[in-house]
Homo-oligomer: A and B are copies of this chain.
């Protein structure tokens, strides 16, 4: 028997997620039955999409019932195994949930390959973040050298990678983010051509100055007013990769969309949504390329590691108030 600690869903959040939307639970976990193995969670990944899961509505995953362990992608280590495919000491990734221990039969859990990168890179550079950035830019928008790429939440895990991939592909890259410090990071450290602090700038005006040749590609993580401003400045045959609409995840009523979607007609432009999970079969292509670029010093990634499972609910809020940069991760136990 193992003593487990976990966060259960307690209420449907109103607005940004708060600690009171969760309930801390201590429970005992049986020993692994035949075919099962015990995983100790090391890291859990916090992502804007977690807020979607907390609603009681159908989305790309089934709604998460109240009173259950909060859904979350985790990295863990196998501590005990009665499953021939998983051995003690294996490092695995999957939907481990917001808890210290879990039992698995292996469904939806995969062993991580041994790579010359820290374990946190599987969240910060590879995994769902890498798939999202790599295919969301390259597959959905098919960029050509010299084009102008605009990215919202550009200092986030996905946005910061998208911008660096854009630079490798010869694009002019303009990022929107929420603080002067994050603007400096994406411009000075990551090599973006321009950075806009959307909290202080006049966004339409700043976009006009940063994109003198107009906008060919928009990698959208936010929707809302920034999408509207971008749509007013798109070029002929522009492509909008719709990765997220974080401006709407915490709204307690429907938020109207942009009033200028007709620009899609005038500019013969497209908006296309995608999910990284569809690119699982092509993961090796993305990860090989990303690791190659990392080794060659062409891309960097940043992780923001919050210590302690008990701090997960408050940490999640950082994704919605603009206070985090890079990949937000909670460390649950030692590597």
Q: Give the B-binding residues of A (Cβ under 8 A).
A: 59-60, 223, 227, 242-245, 248, 254-275, 278
A266 close to B59 (CB less than 8 A): yes
Q: Give CA–CA (A244, B267) in the complex, Å.
A: 12
Is the pair A273, B269 in contact by a Cβ cutoff of 8 Å?
Answer: yes
> In the complex, are the beta carbons of B268 and A259 less than 8 A apart?
no
- Residues of the B chain whose Cβ atoms lie less than 8 Å from the Cβ of A274: 265, 268
Q: Which residue of B lies closest to A59 (CB)?
A: B266
Find out whether the CB atom of A242 lies under 8 angstroms from the CB atom of B264.
yes
The complex is assembled from copies of this chain, and their number is 2
Taking A259-B254, A259-B255, A271-B271 as contacts, is the C-beta distance between A244 and B265 under 8 angstroms?
yes
Instruction: Output the least CB separation between A253 and chain B (Å).
Output: 9
Q: State the majority secondary structure of interface residues on A.
A: loop
Closest 5 CB pairs of A and B: A256-B256, A257-B257, A264-B273, A254-B259, A265-B273
Distance (whole angstroms) from the CB of A330 to the closest CB of chain B: 24
Bound CA span A255–B267, Å:
19
A271–B270 CB distance below 8 A: yes
Decide if A268 touches B257 in the complex (CB within 8 Å). no
Q: Known A-B contacts: A256-B256, A258-B261, A265-B275. Give 9 more (CB < 8 A).
A: A60-B265, A223-B261, A242-B261, A248-B259, A256-B258, A257-B257, A257-B261, A266-B273, A268-B272
Collect the chain B residues with CB atoms within 8 Å of residue A227's CB.
Answer: 261
List 6 interface pairs A-B (beta carbons < 8 Å), by A numbering. A245-B261, A257-B257, A263-B273, A264-B271, A265-B273, A272-B272
Nearest Cβ on chain B to A71's Cβ, whole angstroms: 16
Is A245 a contact partner of B262 (Cβ separation < 8 A)? yes
Q: Is the CB of A259 within 8 A of B257?
A: yes
Q: How far is the CA of A244 from the CA of B256 in the complex (A)?
A: 19
Residues of B within 8 Å of A268, CB to CB, are 272-275, 278
Taking a contact as CB atoms under 8 Å apart, the answer to whether B256 and A257 are in contact is: yes
| Inter-chain contacts of A223 with B (CB < 8 A) | 261-262
A158: min CB distance to chain B, Å: 13
Give chain B residues whose Cβ lies under 8 Å from the Cβ of A248. Answer: 259, 262
